[in-house]
Structure 1
Amino acid sequence: MHDGWGTKPGQEHVLAVEITRPGCERALAHSCLSHFDRDRHASREEWARELRNSPVRVQWDPERSLSLAPLPHRSLQVGLGGEAVSRYVDEWIVGIIDVTGLANRIRGLVRGGDEAGAVRTLPEEQVYPLTSDLAQLIGHPVGEDWRPGRSLPTSGGSTNFTGRSTME
């Protein structure tokens, strides 16, 4: 988990934040890859300009199991800044649930050697259908499944939420 299982000082609570689909799609539509990709950008200068002007940054990170073993998919990390943070807070959030107890149960199962039980305890993920335009913008193969994950506040006035893809 990105929050150290809710045990790091100042990060003792784990929240599940539900946002609107239009909010999620607006964030993705106004995003820029956090790294230069010559297949998507004509030059490093063009990418750097896009990155400076974008209120949202995205990157695909390797996904791990609860025991930190590599998995055959990646997580989309979405960082919100500028006006996207205001929209997230004031318009997109529709629910916040404290899931600290759930995180503690899952942590206990993993530490007790019952990873299968921990996996069964995880909330069910659902496929999030992306338009081909959004998939291309975030560097996701068209036709692959994308499952939105949890929303986690970060330091520095930005917010990250994760999604998962079966892409390698």
Structure 2
Amino acid sequence: MKINLKKYKEQLESWPEKGYHIMAQYDDEKIIVYQSYKKRIGEFAVKNQYFGGDFSLERMTWIKPNFLWMMYRNGWGKKEGQECVLAIHIKLDAFKKYLESSVYSSYNEKLGISRKEWQDQVKESSVRLQWDPDHDPFGNKLERRAIQIGLRGDFIRSFAKDDLILIENISDFVREQYQFVLNNDLDNLMIPAEKPLLFDNVNLNKKLRIQ
């Protein structure tokens, strides 16, 4: 795997406990996001290094840069149809473009616009932005918020091929680490090394509520 790993408990010491944070593994060129699929879709993607075959370009696909939040959603790869866990290395510029084009998936007065304006933006945008409670390895809800991004239209087509750097099948790694969770042995739990992501664009950070 081309992922930097670090002990979960060591990372806890530096992670923010609350607030909105894009927790991710990234550098100046790329960021890793996670998805889970049935084996047929996942194996096609890894073999061909793009999404095709049974992967649908017509429905919205959601990407998650936070490993543990993905593990909460897919039950550590145990949920039906989510057995193949993928680590997807994508261009950081593309990820930033998704967020710049995103519209929140639900209306909130804090957005600073009317519901009608928000509805108009939703109709025009092909990217959805959603913040949900983050979770610990056992699935317990945290105060910190985790981000997920929904893509469709031109964005899903770009994501499926042009924005990709590498697609890795990390299903075996997930299964191995899940055993430490089942045994309540978090001292030995290894997960991708993650830290909060901030952008140079102050307006984008403000839109995302990150700081």
Residue identity in the other structure for 1:104: R
The 1:95/1:88 distance shift into structure 2, 3 A limit, reads same
Aligned to 1:147: none
- Which residue is equivalent to 1:126? 195
**Which amino acid in 2 is paired with 1:124?**
A
User: What secondary structure does 2:109 align onto?
Assistant: coil
Structure 2 counterpart SS, 1:86: helix
For 1:69 and 1:3, the matched residues in 2 are separated by 14
Give unpaired runs (5+ residues) of structure 1: 145-168
Q: Residue 73 of structure 1 corresponds to which residue in structure 2?
A: 144
Q: Is the 8 A contact 1:60 1:74 kept in 2?
A: yes
Asked if structure 1 preserves the Cα contact closer than 8 Å seen for 2:198 and 2:205, the reply is no
Counterpart position of 2:109: 38
- 1:113 is matched with 184
RMSD between aligned alpha carbons? 1.5
Cα offsets for 1:15-67 (capped at 9, x unmatched): 10011011001100100011112232431111011011111111110011001
Matched, 1:104 2:192: no
Q: Which TM-score applies when normalising by structure 1?
A: 0.77
Q: How many residues align?
A: 139
1:152 aligned partner: none
Residue 63 of structure 1 contacts residue 71 of structure 1 at CA under 8 Å; is this kept in 2? yes
1:136 to 2:136 alignment? no
Structure 1 residues 113 and 94: alpha-carbon distance in aligned structure 2, compared to 1, 3 A threshold: same
Q: Calculate percent identity across the aligned residue pairs.
A: 27
- Correspondence for 1:28: 99
The question of whether the paired residues in 2 share the 8 Å contact of 1:41 and 1:47 is answered with no
Separation in 1, partners of 2:80, 2:138: 22
* Cα distance, 1:71 vs structure 2: 2.5
Task: Give the distance between the partners of 1:67 and 1:116, measured in 2 at CA.
Answer: 14
Matched, 1:89 2:168: no
Question: For 1:66, what is the secondary structure of its paired residue?
Answer: coil
The answer to which structure, 1 or 2, has the higher relative contact order (CA under 8 A, 6+ apart) is 2
Match of 1:4 among 75, 90, 99: 75
- C-alpha separation between the residues in 2 aligned to 1:25 and 1:78? 11
* TM-score using structure 2 length: 0.62
Deviations 1:114-142 (A, max 9, x none): 12322xx001013322221211222x13x
Give, in whole Å, the separation in 2 of the partners of 1:65 and 1:117: 15
Amino acid in the other structure paired with 1:134: L
Q: Name stretches of at least 5 consecutive residues in structure 2 with no aligned partner.
A: 1-70
Q: Give structure 1 regions of 4+ aligned residues with deviation exceeding 6 angstroms.
A: none
Partner of 1:150: none
1:67·1:115 contact (CA, 8 Å) conserved in 2?
A: no
AA matched with 1:47:
W
For residue 57 of structure 1, what is the amino acid of its counterpart?
R
